[in-house]
Structure 1
Amino acid sequence: MIASKNLIGQRIAAARMARHLSQAALAERAHISLSLLRKLEQGSRNLTDDVLFAISDALGIEPERLTLAEAKTGTRVHAAIPRIRHAVDAYDLPEDGPTRSLDELHNMVESATDLRVTSQYSRLGEAIPELLGELSRALDNARGAERARAAELFALAYRSADAVAYKFGYHDLSGRMVELMRWSAAISESPVLVATIAYVRTETFFASRNLAPGLRALQAALRPIPSPRTPEEIAAVGALHMRAAVVAARLLEDTEVADEHMRQARRLAGRVPEGIYSGTAFGPDSMRVHEVSVAVELGDGVRAVEAAESWEVPASLPAERRSHFYIELARAQLWLGQRDASLQSLQEARRIAPQHVREHRQVRDALATLIRLYTSPPHALLSYAEWAKAI
């Protein structure tokens, strides 16, 4: 994905300031006019390839660091992607080989899920291709009730594999895996799993920035379970409402839509303890994280910071959800001019889940903005930005 010209301009400015260069000095180094550089940083001019290469050479960085196409960092993860693709390509044509019992495969799928929720993407990427292939064999061989169970394990394993693809920018691969999750969820005949995959499917709409159908898909997924009763059903429906609230807020439509979904999610969160897991964590604490997320999506920094300050994130929440909370808080603090607090929140997010944070576009954007806000950016900020390839 290529960043917009506004974001590219912001990244040029951040990288320039991190190197203590004036606009005039960078323009001279890049052999372009000062007026052109100013327009590029303002986002009012498109960046041609020749100028991109000239500026990146002058800054001493790769062009992809400015365009985000893609600023990839996880070497082990990227090395695993071809094997994941091969498993996806052959989902219905599994190779001959040993196939463990469904109980053993269940334990392996749970281990993969643990790696996902703790943001250990390198380990997950290396382990998941073999598991996907074995589950393809299990599903191909299973009959009757065992086929439904094998399909459920297949979908949950693909849920973990999808996290690797989506977080690291392989959105085409992610989209294919979402469709295989939907296919296997239908075979499982589990309403809870179907709802879970509807939650995951929203990634496709986030990646394409086509959120209106994403909201419709979430609302359609809510209809088959109008009155959830079991803890698993409550968690699945509550998670759908949480995500629908975020999508509605990001669309900046009538805030009543987002507020209504949050109201429904809050009501359901009151009926279950934290930790009920149906594809994503749900419960009272997850709701508090989403209170901040929805406020940020609505552009209400004050509301987001107030919601965050009235609550302490429990260590029992999955690492990715805790780090996401601090990323959202950092964005809100940045809007309110609380630059030191914003940097501190980003540092906490990195401490909790470094692989999640390093691949997060909004982290890079926040770091680039922070650099521009400091007359003399602190070393900790510059070091962080270099690590995240934000400059």
Structure 2
Amino acid sequence: MGATQQVPGPGTNVAKRRKERGLSQVALARRAGVSVSLLSKIEVGDRALTQGVGAALARAMELTLDELLGSAPEKNLNELNYAIRRFDIPGELPENPERLKREVDELNALRWNTELAKILQRLPSVLTRATNHAHLTGAPKAWGLVADVYSIIYWLAARHRWMHLAELATMKQRMAAERADPIAAIAAARDDAGTFLNSGDFAGGLAVVDRAIVQAESMLSGRDRAFGLGILHLRGLTLAGRLRDKQTTNRHIEAAWRASAEFSEDFAEHGIHFGPENTATHVISTASDMEQHRRAVDTAEDLIQGGLTLPATRVAPLYMNVGRSQLALGDRDSTIESLEKAWVVAPEMMAVHPTSLELTRVLVSQHKRSNERLTQIASRVGIAV
């Protein structure tokens, strides 16, 4: 199956950026600490580019990870940017402020269903009304709602790889959380560490997580403590896995499992899910990052057979991570099946997610004969087969 790409995937960007800098594969591989064979396979589409290797290559070329991976084109964000700029400027008291909590819950429901376009459409109005209400009342719960809206903005920006907007959102989220309850500050720290994760600064993200864990242990108690520590350890195990730091990864995994044992099932707070099921999805993702591919596939099979209750925001990445490991194990048919399942539950996310683009690019490159299922997936992300 010959293929030319209409829009480059992350792996293709590596070759483009390398040539722009006048580097040979040997020179770039040496700078990044990877083998020439691996770099060559990534560039031609025989191996998928992982974020861990991507971060090493980006540093070697003095790029950010999002510059290397590429980002979705920005849509019209003028209204949202206007609302964000007016964080410190109180406006009129909104009509029906009692509806704000429900409106934020509705935004989170759209987030969990990965309905990106609808979220962007509604965000400016909800953010403006929530911010005005918080300024005029000064209530911690009102500022907690503002922090929750900024968490949604961070999530949306991260999905599109609008990293400047993601970092701005977490900064405002922290400012709002300082005026809210302690658990809001922990959620903000978790999202802040996420900006380090998405930019490829995994060590910096771990430093944010470690500082927040100390804060959570001293400030929180009971259910809030288990939840706060749990979401931080999930972020920590992902960051440590990208660094291939086995000891730190295992420490965060064990702590996340201990925290999740406090809950019989997964639940959401401040728009973030936590519990045994979501902990398992993070462990699977990290196993794939650390090239423990058989473990990732086997663990996922057990989880899926037990029945998934998580929203699309977690189910689609689960299938993508399983697909990464299936592809590494040479099971291309199962990789296609995993991508199909992810597209069913989260089509808008799959259209912009770098893992979706990269897996599709490699599958197209590796398939030598026509495959209708793969052709359908490729057409959705703009890859001509």
Q: 2:212 & 2:174 partners in 1: Cα distance?
A: 12
Deviations, residues 249-273 of structure 1 (Å, cap 9, x unaligned): 10122x0110110001111111112
C-alpha separation in 1, matches of 2:223 and 2:107: 23
2:311 to 293, 315, 318: 318
Matching residue within 118, 122, 136 for 1:123: 118
Q: Is structure 2 residue 224 aligned with structure 1 residue 219? A: no
- Distance in 1, matches of 2:254 and 2:280, equals 12
The 3 A distance-change label for structure 1 pair 333 and 4 is closer
Question: Matches of 1:3 and 1:246 in 2, distance apart?
Answer: 26
Aligned match of 1:240: 232
Conservation of the 8 A alpha-carbon contact between 2:9 and 2:354: no
Please point out which of 314, 328, 331 is paired with 1:335. Answer: 328
2:79 to 55, 79, 83: 83
Structure 1 SS opposite 2:89:
coil
1:262 to 237, 247, 253: 253
Distance 1:184 1:390 in 2: 42
Counterpart of 2:348 in structure 1 is 355
TM value normalised by structure 2: 0.80
- Please tell me whether residue 108 in structure 1 is matched to residue 109 in structure 2: no
Q: Work out whether 1:345 is the aligned partner of 2:338.
A: yes
Larger radius of gyration: 1
Post-superposition shift, 1:94?
4.1
User: What's the CA shift string for 1:205-230, capped at 9, x where partnerless?
Assistant: 12321111100101110112327643
Whether the 8 Å CA contact 2:10–2:357 is kept in 1: the answer is no
Q: Contact (CA 8 Å) 2:94, 2:133: kept in 1 or not? A: no
Partners of 2:217 and 2:225 within 8 A in 1:
no
TM-score by length of 1: 0.78
Say whether 1:173 aligns with 2:165: yes
Write the letter of the residue equivalent to 1:325. L
3-state SS, counterpart of residue 215 of structure 2: coil
> 1:207 is matched with which residue: 198, 205, 213?
198
Q: Gapped runs of 5+ residues in structure 2?
A: 1-6, 17-39, 46-67
C-alpha distance after superposition, 1:15-72 (max 9, x if no partner): xxxxxxxxxxxxxxxxxxxxxxx999559xxxxxxxxxxxxxxxxxxxxxxx864344
| Higher mean displacement: 152-161 or 92-101 | 92-101
> Is contact 1:244-1:258 (8 Å) kept?
yes
Q: 90-99 vs 354-363, which deviates more?
A: 90-99
Deviation at 1:113, TM superposition (A): 1.1
The percent identity for this pair of structures is 23
> Is 1:295–1:301's contact at 8 Å kept on the other side of the alignment?
yes
> What amino acid is the match of 2:329?
L
Q: How many residue pairs align between the two structures?
A: 332
How far the C-alpha of 1:90 sits from its partner, in A, is 1.3
- CA deviation after TM superposition for structure 1 residue 123, in Å: 1.1
Label 1:181 to 1:310 Cα distance change in 2 as closer, same or farther (>3 A): same
Aligned AA (2:147): A
For 1:172-208, what per-residue CA distance to the aligned partner results, in whole angstroms no more than 9, with x for missing partners? 11111100000111111x2211111111112311232
CA contact (8 A) 1:241 1:264 kept: yes
For residues 259-298 of structure 1, the aligned pairs below 5 Å read 259-279=250-270, 280-298=272-290
Shift of 1:340: 0.2
Answer with 326-335 or 235-244: which moved more: 235-244
Distance 2:367 2:42 in 1: 21
Pair 371,40 (structure 1): closer, same or farther in 2 beyond 3 Å: closer
Q: What is the aligned partner in structure 1 of residue 291 from structure 2?
A: 299
Contact 2:115 2:348 in 1 (8 A): yes
- Is the 1:151–1:184 Cα contact (8 Å) retained in structure 2? yes
Distance, in Å, in 2 between the alignment partners of 1:316 and 1:379 is 31
Distance between the aligned counterparts of 1:229 and 1:283, measured in 2?
Answer: 17
2:187 and 2:166 mapped to 1: Cα distance? Answer: 15
**Pairwise CA distance, 1:10:** 7.5
Seen in structure 2, the aligned counterparts of structure 1 residues 42 and 118 have a Cα distance that, compared at 3 Å, is closer
Unaligned runs of 5+ residues in structure 1 are 12-37, 44-66
Q: Give the letter for the 1:150 counterpart.
A: A
Contact 2:15/2:43 (<8 A) preserved: yes
Contact 1:165/1:174 (8 A) holds in 2:
yes
Question: 1:223 is aligned with what amino acid?
Answer: V
In structure 2, how many angstroms separate the alpha carbons of the residues matched to 1:40 and 1:117? 32
Note if contact 1:193-1:278 (Cα within 8 Å) is conserved in structure 2.
no
Q: Structure 2 residue aligned with 1:139, among 131, 134, 154?
A: 134
